């Protein structure tokens, strides 16, 4: 276990006012180390430095934890498992489905599920428009598509009174469509992610 990664993660969690157990912190670091190892061959993320992965991937994902409610979550276009895997580690009672159309990425996700013993994760290799899935309390997406596209593609997988949690950069309001069908804007939250330069936002849409 890399103590410098562990310390950086602990500091970031303190700043986010999140309390995680030692086992959870160590699992998150193990995930970063696994991602770093696979990244050398599979190019799963453009972030190469594990210390940077802690801030830009792990803490960025954990920053939305206070807005996660309900028992099930679908992570669309999850890539290397973000934000789904950090959320699944932080909330073991949450059933998380990771969906991606890239087979290299879903192979990595299966490996991470096995190595980290994440029984609350399911991995689906499919395009969102073709996926046959149940309904979820929450659907999340990070750097996947524009807001109107996500509503079109993933909105049908959201339970009645469920929510879309969309992770965005600066000025997400500019991206909000005027017509959102069954969805209405609940809130746009500004996220302060430790160690991350640039503004991050969470757009919360409620299914009505």
Q: pLDDT by residue (tens digit) across 185-203?
A: 999 999 999 988 888 999 9
User: Which backbone phi and psi does 168 adopt, to 5 degrees?
Assistant: -135, 165
pLDDT at 47 over 80: yes
| Confidence class for position 30, pLDDT limits 50, 70, 90 | very high
State mean pLDDT over 68-94: 97
Q: For all residues of the chain together, what is the average pLDDT? A: 94
Count of residues in the chain: 208
pLDDT at 1 over 80: no
Enter the pTM of the model. 0.96
Cα 140 to Cα 118: distance, rounded to the nearest angstrom:
19
| Confidence class for position 143, pLDDT limits 50, 70, 90 | confident
Q: At what angle do helices 22-42 and 103-115 cross, to 10 degrees?
A: 150
State mean pLDDT over 94-120: 97
pLDDT at 170 over 90: no
pLDDT at 95 over 90: yes
| Residue 109 Cα distances to 47, 112, 125, 170, 198, angstroms | 17, 5, 10, 29, 28
| Confidence class for position 7, pLDDT limits 50, 70, 90 | very high
| Residue found by looking up tokens 């160590």 in the block | 26
Instruction: Please tell me the least confidently modeled range out of 67-81, 98-112, 191-205.
Output: 191-205
Res 160: pLDDT: 93
Cα 11 to Cα 121: distance, rounded to the nearest angstrom:
26
State mean pLDDT over 32-59: 92
pLDDT at 60 over 90: yes
State mean pLDDT over 64-82: 96
State mean pLDDT over 121-130: 96
Which secondary structure element, helix H or strand E, spans residue 22, and what is its range?
Answer: helix 22-42
CA triplet 17, 93, 59: central angle to 5 degrees?
A: 35
Going along the chain from its start, the domains and CATH numbers come out as 3-207 (3.40.50.150)
């Amino acid at each position: 276990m890399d103590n410098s990664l562990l310390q950086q993660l602990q500091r970031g969690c303190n700043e986010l006012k999140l309390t995680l157990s030692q086992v959870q912190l160590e699992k998150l670091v193990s995930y970063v180390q696994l991602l770093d190892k696979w990244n050398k061959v599979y190019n799963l993320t453009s972030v190469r430095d594990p210390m940077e992965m802690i801030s830009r991937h792990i803490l960025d994902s954990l920053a939305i934890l206070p807005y996660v409610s309900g028992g099930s979550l679908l992570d669309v276009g999850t890539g290397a498992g973000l934000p789904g895997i950090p959320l699944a580690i932080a909330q073991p009672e949450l059933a998380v489905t990771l969906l991606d159309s890239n087979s290299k990425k879903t192979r990595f996700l299966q490996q991470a599920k096995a190595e980290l013993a994440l029984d609350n994760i399911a991995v689906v290799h499919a395009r969102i428009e073709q996926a046959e899935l149940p309904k979820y309390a929450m659907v999340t997406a990070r750097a996947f598509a524009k807001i109107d596209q996500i509503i079109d593609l993933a909105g049908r997988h959201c339970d009645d009174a469920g929510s879309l949690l969309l992770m965005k950069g600066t000025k997400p309001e500019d991206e909000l469509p005027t017509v959102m069908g069954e969805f209405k804007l609940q809130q746009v939250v500004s996220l302060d992610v430790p160690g991350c330069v640039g503004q991050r936002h969470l757009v919360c849409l409620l299914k009505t």
